[in-house]
A and B are shown apart, each in its own frame.
Chain A
Amino acid sequence: MRNDDDSLRFLLSGGRLPGSAHDRIVARVVPRRWARLRSWRWVLASTLVAGMATAGLMLVPVLRHGFTAEPWRAAKGGGAGASLNARCPTHATGTCGPGDRLVFEAHGSHEPALLAAYADGPAGERFWYFPAADGHLASVPAHEGIVLAREIGRIGEDWPPGRYAVHLFLLSRPTDRAALLAGQAAIQAKAVVTVSVVP
């Protein structure tokens, strides 16, 4: 059946490779992330490091603040399986500097989607990324792995240092700010990521 379909596709393409053939070639020539773990030592080392890191991350907030939930551990992917993140590529995870680019990532976004995002500052002020003032939402292409939204944000030059809660929403349909805040948007997944803006 596969050969039969391939032949029909080849004919429909006028003797060139159809998109389905390119799908298969790309899957074979572009390595997946796990393929890079070429030895058991890598796997073992990664597992140990990940375990230690997880234990540390769970312990630190407890030691600092007792058992209150840390915003950066807020549920990612509260919707249909996709997880969301925001980060400044030029800084360590969770930190940004004034004027930095802020990229938005989705993992497991199997369908093209839209992204809404805003940040709540340390003094309670709110900074909207998307929908922008003209209503524009960021777009997230469908992808099996991690994919970046096509649009990027920026940390304001005048934003005071402190902790910002960046609220992210993956949407299946366009929406406006009011509907988003009222919980009336078609939300596929949501997350809250804490970003510390450092001078």
Chain B
Amino acid sequence: MDGALLESFRRGDRLALERVYSLHVREVEERVRTVLIRLGRLTAADLADLIQEAFLRAFSDRARAQYDGQRDYGPFLIAIARNVVVDWSRRAGREVPVPDIIEWFAEQVGEQPEPAPFDPALLAHTEAYVAGLPPELRAVHHARFVLGLPQRPAAEAIGISRQSLRTLEKKLLRGFRQHLRRTDASTGAPPPRQLTISARPVGAPEGRLTVAQRR
């Protein structure tokens, strides 16, 4: 963190906090995600909650004051995120030794082969949908779903307004929902009331993600 950013960060300036978030969120997300996958607990809600809690703690007045600016901020933030996950695991009563979680956190991103988080057939359907997107929707998919950019930088990256981005994203989702329905219908099976996306369990058979279909 350079001097100007550090000073603004310590003051709690909004732009500085947003900058620090965007600089470090990917690494935090990858490590939290790895732990959740290994616990068989990867859901969007848990992943978002844990990342949010980690940054809430990291951006508190006390934590900002504690960061000395001499060392890299990344390891400082990762240590906070690790404590958040350990606390969450204890609260949830998981039978996972804390040393395991600490060890998983310590692994470098990409050090271990990552298990697929979803059913391969479902991933294949998703990839097929993305491959068939027109250029403007593919650009939205890349900015919002591959890079995970917030609205403002995503719109700037594509060169469109935020309103246009919102419209295109809705169109993308609507098309994806229809694609999944068509895919389901093509199997010949009667369309179910709910489409269930099963996360591939790793170590625990309880990770499930349910997508309710609109009727």
Give the A interface residue count (CB, 8 A): 39
Within residues 13 to 63 of chain A, which ones have a CB less than 8 A from any CB in chain B? 13-26, 28-33, 36
Question: Measured between C-beta atoms, what is the minimum distance from B145 to chain A in Å?
Answer: 4
With known contacts A11-B122, A110-B162, A29–B56 Cβ distance under 8 A: yes
B152 located at the interface, meaning its Cβ lies under 8 Å from any Cβ of chain A in the complex = yes
With known contacts A16-B33, A18-B144, A142-B152, A10–B44 Cβ distance under 8 A: yes
Are A17 and B148 touching (Cβ within 8 A)? yes
Which of B13-21, B71-79, B86-94 sits within the interface? B13-21
Give the B interface residue count (CB, 8 A): 56
A126 located at the interface, meaning its Cβ lies under 8 Å from any Cβ of chain B in the complex = no
Are A31 and B197 touching (Cβ within 8 A)? no
Question: Measured between C-beta atoms, what is the minimum distance from A24 to chain B in Å?
Answer: 7
Assembled-state Cα–Cα distance A111/B162 (Å) = 7
Assembled-state Cα–Cα distance A29/B145 (Å) = 21
Assembled-state Cα–Cα distance A86/B147 (Å) = 34
Question: Measured between C-beta atoms, what is the minimum distance from B46 to chain A in Å?
Answer: 11
- Chain B residues near A33: list those with CB within 8 A: 14
Assembled-state Cα–Cα distance A47/B122 (Å) = 57
Assembled-state Cα–Cα distance A93/B83 (Å) = 44
- Chain B residues near A17: list those with CB within 8 A: 29, 44, 47-48, 51, 148
Write out, one digit per residue, whether chain B residues 137-170 have a CB within 8 A of any chain A CB (1) or not (0): 0000101111111111011100001110000010
Assembled-state Cα–Cα distance A131/B136 (Å) = 30
Which of A1-9, A69-77, A157-165 sits within the interface? A1-9
- Chain B residues near A110: list those with CB within 8 A: 162
In the complex, what residue of chain A is closest to B160 when comparing beta carbons? A112
Count: A-B pairs, CB below 8 Å: 131
Write out, one digit per residue, whether chain B residues 35-54 have a CB within 8 A of any chain A CB (1) or not (0): 00100001111011001100
Question: Measured between C-beta atoms, what is the minimum distance from B15 to chain A in Å?
Answer: 8
- Chain B residues near A26: list those with CB within 8 A: 18, 21, 150
- Chain B residues near A23: list those with CB within 8 A: 150-151
- Chain B residues near A24: list those with CB within 8 A: 48
B106 located at the interface, meaning its Cβ lies under 8 Å from any Cβ of chain A in the complex = no
- Chain B residues near A142: list those with CB within 8 A: 152, 155-156, 161-162
B117 located at the interface, meaning its Cβ lies under 8 Å from any Cβ of chain A in the complex = yes
Would you list 28 pairs from A and B whose C-beta atoms are within 8 A, ordered by A residue? A3-B212, A4-B212, A7-B211, A9-B44, A10-B43, A15-B33, A15-B37, A15-B42, A16-B29, A16-B33, A17-B44, A17-B47, A17-B148, A18-B148, A19-B147, A19-B148, A19-B154, A23-B150, A25-B48, A25-B55, A30-B17, A31-B12, A31-B14, A32-B14, A111-B162, A111-B163, A112-B161, A142-B162
Which 4 residue pairs spanning A and B have beta carbons closest together? A15-B117, A10-B44, A19-B144, A7-B211
Apart from the given pairs A29-B55, A112-B155, 13 other A-B contacts in the complex at a CB distance below 8 Å: A4-B211, A5-B173, A11-B122, A11-B209, A12-B173, A17-B47, A18-B145, A19-B145, A19-B151, A21-B44, A22-B150, A36-B12, A110-B162
